[in-house]
Chains A and B, each alone.
Chain A
């Protein structure tokens, strides 16, 4: 190979590698770790629009008043960011200081060593939601403090649903959904990828996602109990909904506000999106279907009792590589203060601080959320769970069920995949 050839070949290989190797963003870290500096900037990442503006202002102003010379910079991330982008940022030397993560995701970040130990400030934080605290605790040490909890409730507008004849059991709910369905109306809005809303169906019949047997996980979607739930869900997909088979739940407020949905099972904070004014930046339908928005807790198979729902929520962690961990911990303290958590509760979010429960609004959205959360359950607690979520195997399987494939076959291959990941 002569020089020219070699050069050309090198350039091609270089080009190919350039194409593959992602560039890591560099530098930018300011201040030295350890000693709190006289002045500086603290970066806090919040996810989505759930945290109300009032709370954001309260956090910044309280922090800046307590620490003269410091500014608190808030950035809003999306749930799609809370995985790879978070990991990339948290391991860099330009890491954010405080980050919000989903409660089921916390353990993955903790396992990779991305969060600092918060056990030393735990004593100052008061009584916290026990389920969320468990999500952020590993080997007795707290790494991710609870932030708020959220549960799913079933929204409806009296324009489309008879409020005096609400379903008392899950099967009745499905039957009513089928009755309400027309060509232009989903009785139950059930897009195929909405897997959080699938869980109550299998849990109501006593099914599970996966159970631990010694050191190995045994996935349970093909158990007889789970199968009963999945068959009922398939009935919903096929007879009660017009939602896209491969759609997700992200913008469910849009069809609801178009008057195309009778029952909408969605996170309680969705109420804010639905009741937003028509001319808001993200328009809602305050004047039409959102005007008299009501909600109830999804019923279980026992009349009068709510179905077990997925315990959603958020935790907040301090980056292990934060420039100013002490300042970051102070910010966590503010976010769990009574004043701040009261603001969160007033916005309809179930507060992490138990003392703030009384600040919850007295409407049926907040009340049915509280009732549903009381019997809520979560996903398997293992660091590998996040890999199950990012591989989208559950969503893929539900889409197959929604398409009419046999629930037993789909569940069998889903169980195999989940076990491959959790035990791999």
Chain B
């Protein structure tokens, strides 16, 4: 007892010293990435926050004149504008729809890949990779042509299949609901490969012994997936889910390109496109919309972030 009491302070200082030298080297290693993040994200981020409270325009930049500080005028203008609630609701709705389909579809493809033989798995991987490699704009142009009103493949196929002329000049993008359907197909099609590959990598980490043990205990396929596989890949899926929420909240390319092919823009705008359509050089108002998007995204993903952090701690 005496011995421990006298030895304790010495051990403590040694441990403290080690901890300090460790933390110095840790910070040294972190400096480059922190500097890079500050430069690439911090500066534009802070600029955006500042601009959202001003009436900054291109004019100010070109002529070197300062912008006026307008407090919450930009936010008030956006939040009270007649079309904002609809745009917000549509954005969140499309995000939930696409994210759900992408997550389910991606995990299903990943599970499928674990069951396939080597040759088929290679084929599926190459197919997924090709879909993932196609830029969103290209994909939208191709899909847009497939659903084209006058010369589209879908209308032709439906006419041929039904042996009628009912689908002649059927405008898929005109009705906001079928617009969202086409949009969902494009987005989900393009995003499934990422989820599938990531989940497939996660599935490789599931302990085989646990699965075998569960099988011996008489667990069925679904029970094994839900009680053994799923908890093991949950951290991976949690991370992917946050990314998908962010990506699907900021859909721009696909929506904008589809709108230029058809449909009614006012009925199909999502927040990022709405931001873009505010007119040229309105930095103040558009920054305010950007701030709102960040706030909404953080609110939505906060639960997931906390969950992830909790899992990290345990």
Please list the residues of chain A having a beta carbon within 8 angstroms of any beta carbon in chain B.
4-5, 8-10, 12-21, 23, 80, 83-84, 87, 91, 108, 111-114, 183, 242-248, 255, 320-321, 384, 386-387, 390-393, 395-396, 399-400, 403, 421
Contact = CB atoms under 8 A, between A and B. Distances in A.
B48 interface: yes
Closest 8 CB pairs of A and B: A387-B279, A244-B149, A246-B262, A21-B44, A113-B62, A392-B265, A112-B58, A17-B45
B169 A242 contact: yes
A245 B174 contact: yes
B308 A19 contact: no
A414 to B, nearest CB: 10
Nearest to A105: B280
Contacts of A321: 62
A246 B173 contact: yes
Given A17-B41, A20-B250, A399-B174, 17 more contacts: A4-B312, A5-B309, A8-B305, A16-B301, A17-B44, A17-B48, A23-B40, A91-B281, A111-B59, A113-B58, A244-B150, A244-B262, A246-B264, A248-B260, A386-B280, A392-B277, A421-B279
Q: Which among A10, A16, A390 has the highest number of chain B CB atoms within 10 Å?
A: A16
B305 A9 contact: yes
Contacts of A395: 265
B265 A244 contact: no
Interface in B289-314: 290, 293-294, 297-298, 301, 305, 308-309, 312-313
9 contacts: A5-B312, A12-B305, A16-B301, A84-B280, A91-B281, A387-B278, A387-B280, A390-B277, A391-B265
A19 B276 CA distance: 15
B235 interface: no
A112 B276 CA distance: 17
Contacts of A391: 265, 277, 279
Interface residues of B, number: 50
Given A387-B279, A390-B277, A320 B309 contact: no
Contacts of B279: 384, 386-387, 390-391, 421
Given A14-B41, A16-B297, A19-B247, A91 B265 contact: no
A5 to B, nearest CB: 5
A391 B250 CA distance: 19
Interface of B: 37, 40-41, 44-45, 48, 57-59, 61-63, 149-150, 165, 168-169, 171, 173-174, 242-243, 246-247, 250, 259-260, 262-267, 276-281, 290, 293-294, 297-298, 301, 305, 308-309, 312-313
A19 B250 contact: yes
A114 B57 CA distance: 11
Contacts of A23: 40, 44
Contact of B57 (A112, A387, A421): A112
A18 B243 CA distance: 12
A365 B281 CA distance: 39
B277 A12 contact: no
Contacts of B242: 12
A386 B44 CA distance: 27
Nearest to B61: A91
B150 A108 contact: no
B62 A320 contact: yes
Nearest to A388: B279
B131 to A, nearest CB: 21
Nearest to B301: A12
A111 B60 CA distance: 11
Nearest to B43: A21
A86 to B, nearest CB: 8
A244 B171 contact: yes
Contact of A91 (B48, B58, B247, B264): B58
A139 to B, nearest CB: 15
A14 B37 contact: yes
Contacts of A243: 150
A112 B62 contact: yes
A247 B277 contact: no
A87 B45 contact: no
Given A20-B290, A87-B280, A400-B264, A114 B171 contact: no
Contacts of B260: 80, 248
Contacts of A255: 150
A135 B58 CA distance: 20
Contact of A15 (B48, B58, B246, B265): B246
